[in-house]
């Protein structure tokens, strides 16, 4: 769960570091009225034995953010490396020694009514302590939403565009009001796309299956990590192909992946148990491997991690 942020938390806003309580926007801001913002999500994990915070693949996240901003003709004016260093500076100013969620957001900043944007935009960075998106240790209950995944020809799902997430809010609220933990989207053609805020995988006959980018999914970085771990560490075949709804009901295992959810087992879908109705073996192994890799316990994946405090303490950045 996200905590209630301290107004004295230092954030990066309008090209400077300021307390959160001073970071204010006009109620006429274009992004507020028309959803013309692009966000990103990055995790940092605290390793208490090493006294170090590890940013997970910040360069890849910022490269994706920059590309997605281009969909709205927003030029961040900074490279992925510069944005990574800015994030390190932000964390150090707050002296965090806990797991974090970092939220970069770029937005059309003109303060006026009118759908046509001008060339005014800005971006902000916020880092906050994070305890997890959902309690998924024993598995979560999911339901297929009646709302369909937004089409790439309408608002590109891969773009993490703020306005598109009304789609996720509608689906998430629907299933939670019906007693479930997370929604599953179908595409307009009826194929499985993803969760309301995460990618989805199914295990069938020993193979790991996940929808392809052409089924309107977010091209998730955690999704990519899990595919790599499955192939390299567990020698599991991974297929990226369209998935029918009924395949989820017949899957041996199902799980979600994402920056916020990490690897979250699904034990029930639409009142039907997934497999034996408990966390599956492959899901549990991938969950453990992902957490070990992101906490700096697997040397082979150290290239995923950027040290936050090591440069200050006299070492070289990873």
Dist. CA 167–CA 148, nearest whole Å: 8
Dist. CA 62–CA 59, nearest whole Å: 5
Whether the CB-CB separation of 103 and 125 falls below 8 Å is answered with yes
Dist. CA 293–CA 302, nearest whole Å: 7
Dist. CA 1–CA 245, nearest whole Å: 29
Indicate which residues carry an active-site annotation. 160
Dist. CA 221–CA 227, nearest whole Å: 10
Neighbour count for residue 109 (Cβ, 10 Å): 21
At residue 269, φ and ψ (nearest 5 deg) are -135, 120
- Strands (DSSP E) along the chain, which ranges? 10-13, 16-19, 37-39, 42-47, 52-56, 100-108, 121-129, 140-148, 182-186, 192-195, 199-204, 207-210, 238-240, 253-258, 262-269, 272-273, 305-307
Dist. CA 91–CA 286, nearest whole Å: 28
Whether the CB-CB separation of 247 and 202 falls below 8 Å is answered with yes
What is the residue-wise DSSP string for 161-207? Answer: BGGGGHHHHHHHHHHHHTT-SEEEEE-TTSBEEEESSSEEEEEETTE
Whether the CB-CB separation of 185 and 246 falls below 8 Å is answered with no
CA 290 to chain centre: 14
């Amino acid at each position: 769960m996200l905590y209630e942020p301290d107004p004295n938390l230092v954030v990066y806003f309008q090209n400077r570091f300021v307390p959160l309580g001073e970071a204010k926007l006009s109620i006429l801001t274009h992004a507020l009225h028309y959803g013309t913002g692009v966000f990103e999500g990055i995790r940092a994990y605290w390793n208490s034995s090493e006294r170090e915070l590890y940013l997970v693949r910040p360069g890849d996240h910022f490269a994706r953010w920059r590309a997605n901003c281009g969909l709205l003709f927003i030029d961040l004016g900074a490279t992925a490396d510069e944005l990574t260093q800015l994030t390190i500076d932000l964390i150090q100013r707050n002296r965090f020694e806990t797991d974090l969620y970092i939220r970069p957001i770029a937005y059309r900043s003109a303060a006026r009514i009118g759908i046509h944007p001008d060339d005014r935009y800005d971006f902000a960075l916020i880092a906050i302590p994070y305890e997890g998106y959902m309690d998924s240790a024993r598995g979560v209950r999911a339901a297929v939403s009646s709302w369909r995944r937004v089409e790439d020809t309408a608002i590109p799902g891969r773009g993490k565009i703020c306005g598109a997430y009304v789609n996720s809010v509608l689906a998430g609220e629907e299933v939670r009001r019906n007693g479930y933990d997370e929604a599953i989207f179908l595409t307009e053609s009826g194929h499985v796309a993803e969760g309301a805020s995460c990618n989805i995988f199914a295990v069938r006959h020993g193979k790991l299956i996940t929808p392809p980018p052409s089924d309107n999914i977010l091209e998730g970085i955690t999704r990519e990590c899990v595919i790599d771990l499955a192939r390299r560490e567990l020698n599991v075949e991974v297929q990226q192909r369209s998935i029918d709804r009924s395949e989820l009901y017949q899957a041996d295992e199902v799980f979600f992946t994402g920056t916020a959810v990490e690897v979250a087992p699904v034990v029930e879908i639409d009142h039907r148990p997934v497999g034996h109705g408990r966390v599956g073996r492959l899901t549990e192994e991938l969950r453990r491997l992902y957490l070990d890799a992101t906490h700096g316990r697997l040397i082979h994946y150290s290239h995923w991690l950027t040290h936050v405090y090591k440069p200050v303490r006299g070492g070289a950045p990873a």
